[in-house]
A and B are shown apart, each in its own frame.
Chain A
Amino acid sequence: MRKQLVIAGLAGATSIAMTAAAGAHEAWLLTPEEMIGLASAPKPAVFTNPLFAAPLAALLAGGVFAAISLEPRWLDLENRLFRPLAERAGEIGPAVVRLGLSVMLFTAALGLLPAAGVAAGTRPTLFVPDMQLKLFDPAWGLLVPVQLALAAMLLTGLGTRIAGLAVAALAVFGLHLFGETFLAYAGHFAVPGLYLAFAGGGKFRLRLPAALAARLPAATALDRLELTPTVYRGLMIVFGLNFAYLGITYKLMQPTLLIAILEHGGFPEFGVGYGLLAFVMTFVEISAGLALVAGVLVRPVGLFLISAFTLFAVTLGETPFFHSNLYAMAAVLVMAGAGARRAAEGRETVRRLGAPAAGAMVEQAA
């Protein structure tokens, strides 16, 4: 428990510390005219006046407190309801993540999901629309075939663990190439990449022709990797940390950017105005990230993420492909829940009792 509190505290502190510099998350949607308006737009009072911000933040914090406190009351029911999915998470999860990552890699490599004002197919990027490779030495054009090759490997499931590790390495390399701007994305690509490196290809993957397979080693060192509860927990922490960072850096510190994006897409105001709406959205995103870091409310957060991405895609006219990697990892969270921790407890129980614990094994499928 103390460990959880320390982790949550560290996560928050790190997120706040990392907010000094940031890139243009989803700013690729904005037109030049909207940019001109945004440059001179004042921040809403609800973000700048403690008299408005404090009561609202306290109210929302009360909601977070209640949700985390009451989770044990519905957790058994939740686990029963999701058991069929949890049993298959080990097979379906990797397949979904492979598909999500391959879509992002393929479209980025060919510039098929371009930023506003950029013609489709003209600007190859790294992972996301605003990380243009054209800004650098032409040698980095090499990342185009690299991304295509990784997309093909992931789609087919051939060499999934190697491809997953390479995606994670590429996410770290993005930090070197684009600097702090890439912090917004690194965790959200490194985590699914590492997930695949540890979990393998799962279901729906191709097999090499027997003749070719016979010439290759039967197993590599990577095949010994296992998605243990500790690994799954670590991935969840990084994933949640990235959301908390995004919430603080791009929404809390720059609320006019979020409001401009909402206005751009004609997002419904729900009768409360974009300022208040942005405040609530920001609070929920940061809280969701912290919940993942703490390993609580995992399935509700996963469902929230999928719903939020879908709502944004529909209302902003954004293609869901923009967030394929996040959809995929959120789906894994929904399927497996906070399974790893329970699996760890279950394993100890198995060792102690010398008998299989059905519930634990279900969760272990994470």
Chain B
Amino acid sequence: MTRLFRSRRACLALASSLLAAGAFGVTSLLAETREPPPSLFVRIADGAPVPKLVAHAARNAEGEWTVSMEAENFRFTEICNAATGSEAVGHVHIYEGNRKLASAFAPEKSIGRLSPGRHLLTITLQATDHRAFATRDGMITAQLAIEA
């Protein structure tokens, strides 16, 4: 009985270890070396039009700043749901350093007053499910320097 139990145990151990090792082997054979993690990024397919973003900023009479964005191959939408289709659709996130200033669901967004000095903003393109758009070479972003 003991011998039988041990051999059964050995079978189970063999199956478990082969299963785990097999998963790694298969993955290493299939792996792409430059593929952004799909849980965080929506990869623009090779050959598909790559979205581009240019941003400007203007201050109004009350001293509040508005960021205007011109997007190419990208459409703004207010909808937040699962990303579907091949078209790049979504919104942008506006950051200063690691601080998120705003989400913009349209090409213009007021970010309010800024403290005096230079502010370097980073604008990122996000899909409707909040993952970021990326190509094989990295995220699609625009930089904007504001002298407040």
Contact = CB atoms under 8 A, between A and B. Distances in A.
Given A72-B6, A257-B37, A257-B40, A286 B20 contact: yes
A27 interface: yes
B49 interface: no
Contacts of B32: 43, 48
Interface stretch (B67-75, B95-103, B110-118): B95-103
B100 A290 contact: no
B137 A257 contact: no
B14 A53 contact: no
A40 B40 CA distance: 12
B57 to A, nearest CB: 18
Given A32-B93, A39-B132, A256 B23 contact: no
B139 A252 contact: no
Interface string B134-148: 100111010000000
A314 interface: no
A9 interface: yes
B9 A72 contact: yes
Contact of B23 (A58, A250, A286): A286
Contacts of B33: 42-43, 48
Contacts of A33: 97-98
Interface in B4-44: 5-6, 8-29, 31-41
Nearest to B82: A179
B130 interface: yes
Contact of B37 (A8, A38, A291, A294): A38
Contact of B39 (A62, A136, A179, A250): A250
B17 A62 contact: yes
Nearest to B27: A252
A32 B124 contact: yes
A68 B11 CA distance: 10
Contacts of B98: 31-33, 116-117
Contacts, number: 175
A57 B21 contact: yes
Given A33-B97, A40-B36, A68-B12, A53 B24 contact: yes
A71 interface: yes
A36 interface: yes
A254 B41 CA distance: 11
A269 to B, nearest CB: 20
A39 B39 contact: no
Contacts of B22: 12
B58 interface: no
A291 to B, nearest CB: 7
B40 A12 contact: no
A231 interface: no
Contacts of B100: 32, 117-118
A58 B123 CA distance: 45
A53 B15 contact: no
Interface of A: 1, 4-5, 8-9, 12, 15-16, 21-25, 27, 30-33, 35-36, 38-40, 42-43, 47-50, 52-54, 56-58, 60-62, 64-69, 71-72, 116-118, 135-136, 179, 181, 248-250, 252-254, 256-257, 279, 282-283, 286-287, 290-291, 294, 296
Interface of B: 5-6, 8-29, 31-41, 80-82, 93, 95, 97-100, 122, 124, 129-132, 134, 137-139, 141
26 contacts: A1-B11, A12-B23, A15-B23, A24-B40, A27-B40, A32-B98, A35-B40, A36-B122, A36-B139, A36-B141, A43-B35, A48-B33, A50-B28, A54-B28, A57-B25, A61-B18, A61-B21, A64-B17, A68-B12, A72-B5, A72-B6, A135-B130, A252-B24, A257-B40, A286-B23, A287-B17
